[in-house]
Amino acid sequence: MDRFAVSALYLFALGVFAAPALANVGLGLLVLGAAARPRHTLLALTGHPAWPALLALALVLAVQATVLALSTGLSEADIAVLADLAKLILLVPVGLAVAGKSSRAGRALALAGLSLLLCMALHARPSELWQALSEGHTRLGFGLPAIAFGLYAATALLGVLLLVPNYAARLPSLPRRALLVAAGAALALIGIGLLTCRSRGAWLALALALPPCAVWAWRRGGLPRPALAGLGAVLVAGLLLNGEALARRLTDDAATYRALAGLADGPATGPRSELATLPADSIGLRLRLSGLALERWRERPWFGHGPDAGRQIIVQADDAELAAMAHLHNTYLELLVRFGVVGLAGFGAVLAGLGAGLHRAARAGTLPPQLGMFLTGTLAITLVWSAFDFRLLTQDFRFHVVLLAGIAFGLGLPRREAPCAS
């Protein structure tokens, strides 16, 4: 049964970006494996520090849904949102397959990185790629929304830098060189993808998370000079080939910046009314959505307006420019409006529980430092990126969360050793 679960984990990781149907098959097999051993699954779950937070979050969502059902009734959209959130519990069978073994986590992450490269290869058209690199306006998502691809590419880039050199150091000379060459090629391809997705949220997230992670790895000797040189070459090449396009992308919303400067100098008329005058560009619309969301959140700050409230408040705002927006473009505001402070705290408590499990594994000496730093850096990237978009209810982001949170959950489990023969 253990081999069955591990094979299903690798199947899920391999399909996570390139073949969603394959990933769903892997998840289904993981669920079957966990259900076949209910006692083991329950013992592992209740023995993890994240268990109380998972239970509390489930109770909060269930109580809110019950109250709404008895008062105003749950819509089909509300039920669909709750069903999508319930799928996040799939992190548990993923963690059970990892079972405290860092080698399994490393292989799963490597397969997920390969899946991202396959996704790029399957959806890259040479003409579009050249156009994106040459004229600087085209945004590429390689089969995914551009801003979502930016998050996954930033995560993969961090993984290559932190995890590959440490693993390569344990190999003989020839395989080590081959792996480093392959990693350098992967780094260049991922860098091109990150550049052409034009996601400023992903760029900012990586810019904030990468330097401390790189300094940490360099001080521990886990980031050799060739890796630093490769990273520097990718950055310099990106600036030389696409510097003008990068500058243009960063100043796309200059009208909003000027309007904000004018609002700061003028008399205060109330946050919502001031934001409503901002231009209808990317940042301007996001800030207007933020003002709307905060106004509605203050009406029910503790438990929110309901599972589908994010979209509903946009529809009810009677603003033609905001009506085209599918959501609030901010994960934190979405959770506050939908589930209130209590719900947002519940999601935060789950993250804290996963972190406590990793801390326990680090103190026990079963968590490799590079893997722990990668998961920490990935969390930082995701938290920053989440201030610019909301994809918690979509399949691609759910796969991203289930894989990484599941690995974190699994590494926080005590490692089971095979019984000694006597």
Q: What is the pLDDT of residue 395?
A: 96
What's the CA gap between 53 and 359, in Å, rounded? 16
Report yes or no: 253 and 281 within 8 Å, Cβ to Cβ. Answer: yes
Which residue type, as a one-letter code, is found at position 234? Answer: V
What pLDDT was estimated at residue 1?
67
Which percentage of the chain shows pLDDT scores above 70? 83
In this predicted structure, what is the pLDDT of residue 418?
A: 45
pLDDT (mean) for 293-297: 91
pLDDT in tens, 163-194: 998 888 888 888 888 888 898 889 889 988 99
Query: By 3-state DSSP, what share of the chain in percent is helix, strand and coil, each rounded to 5?
Result: 75, 0, 25
* Residue 292 lies inside a defined structural domain of this protein: no
Q: How far is CA 296 from CA 73, 300, 309, 363, in A?
A: 20, 7, 10, 44
pLDDT at 360 over 80: yes
| Residue 376 in domain | yes
Virtual torsion, Cα 195, 200, 201, 202, nearest 10 deg: 10
Residue 343 has pLDDT above 50, yes or no: yes
Find the mean pLDDT for residues 220-229. 66
Residue tagged 């051993």 (tokens):
37
The average pLDDT across 262-266 equals 60
What pLDDT shows up at residue 250? 62
Q: Examine residue 320 and state whether it is found in any structural domain, yes or no.
A: no
368 inside domain? yes
Lowest mean pLDDT among 9-18, 71-80, 331-340: 71-80
The CA distance from 314 to 334, in Å, is 11
Whether residue 154 contacts residue 187, with contact meaning beta carbons closer than 8 Å, is answered with no
Q: Is residue 259 one of the residues assigned to a domain?
A: no
| Domain annotation covers residue 286 | no
Model confidence at 421, pLDDT cuts 50, 70, 90, reads: very low
pLDDT value, residue 238: 63
C-alpha to C-alpha distance for 194 and 210, rounded to whole angstroms: 14
Q: What pLDDT was estimated at residue 326?
A: 81
Give pLDDT tens digits for 61-116. 999 999 999 988 889 999 999 999 999 999 999 999 999 999 999 999 999 999 99
Q: What is the pLDDT of residue 73?
A: 86
Summarize pLDDT for 115-136 with one digit per residue, the tens. Answer: 999 999 999 888 888 887 777 6
Mean pLDDT within 396-418 = 88
Question: Is the predicted pLDDT of residue 2 greater than 90, yes or no?
Answer: no
Q: What is the pLDDT of residue 422?
A: 35
CA dihedral sign of residues 291, 296, 298, 301? negative
Average pLDDT (226-252) is 65
Q: What is the pLDDT of residue 99?
A: 92
- Specify the 3-state DSSP secondary structure of 328: coil
Average pLDDT, integer, range 367-372: 94
How far is residue 105's CA from residue 405's CA, in Å, rounded to a whole number? Answer: 11
Inside any domain, residue 8: yes
- Give pLDDT, residue 419: 43
311 in any annotated domain:
no
Residue 123, C-beta contacts closer than 8 angstroms, at least 6 positions apart: 142, 143
**Residue 289 pLDDT > 50:** yes
Q: How confident is the model at residue 207 (pLDDT cuts 50, 70, 90)?
A: very high
On the question of pLDDT at 288 being above 80, the answer is yes
> Which residue did the predictor score with more confidence, 72 or 267?
72
pLDDT score of 319 more than 80: no
The more confident residue out of 361 and 262 is: 361
Burial label for 217, CB within 10 Å (0-12, 13-18, 19+), is buried
Which domain range does residue 394 map to?
Answer: 2-251+334-411
Amino acid 416 reads R
Task: Please give the tally of structural domains in the chain.
Answer: 1
CA distances from 309 to 65, 287, 304, 312, 324 (A): 12, 18, 8, 5, 16
